[in-house]
Amino acid sequence: MQERAADKQSELDELRARRYQESKDREWRNKERAQAERQAAMQRELTEARAAQKNATIRQQADMARVEHEDFMRVLAVNRAKEHSDMTLVRPERAKFLSLFHIIIFITIVSSLLNDHLIDTGY
């Protein structure tokens, strides 16, 4: 009977030890799972922060490109306007030059014809 009681006590001790070990294993797994979840959350946040930073950089570069394009177009418009105004200033001067040039040509032709006529007529 004493042997039976000792066997029973031994079984109870073994059961308690198994339950204790299972409890410790469960705590360890919960602790490991919580740590893995925290680490995954940090990785997720880090990935999201990197993506946000990359998107911000792309937006900033796009804004800079847009501003540079607008500046270029503004300078181009100013240059074209200046070119146009220069051309309007040059045209009258060119017209005056061409008129003088045509007059000189006309006088040269008339003079040449007059000389030819004088030579032909003997005067």
Q: Is the pTM of this model over 0.75?
A: no
Cα 98 to chain centroid distance, Å, stands at 52
Per-residue pLDDT of 9-36, as tens digits, reads 888 989 999 999 999 999 999 999 999 9
Distance in Å from the first CA to the final CA of the chain: 173
- Give pLDDT, residue 119: 78
Domain ranges, ordered by start, for the chain = 1-88
Cα 86 to chain centroid distance, Å, stands at 37
pLDDT exceeds 80 at position 73: yes
Q: Helix (H, G, I), strand (E, B), or coil: what is residue 71? A: helix
- Give pLDDT, residue 123: 62
Split at pLDDT 50, 70, 90, the class of 4 is confident
The residue among 96 and 14 whose pLDDT is bigger is 14
Q: Can you tell me the distance from the alpha carbon of 39 to that of 26, in angstroms, rounded to the nearest whole number? A: 20
Mean pLDDT, rounded, of the chain: 88
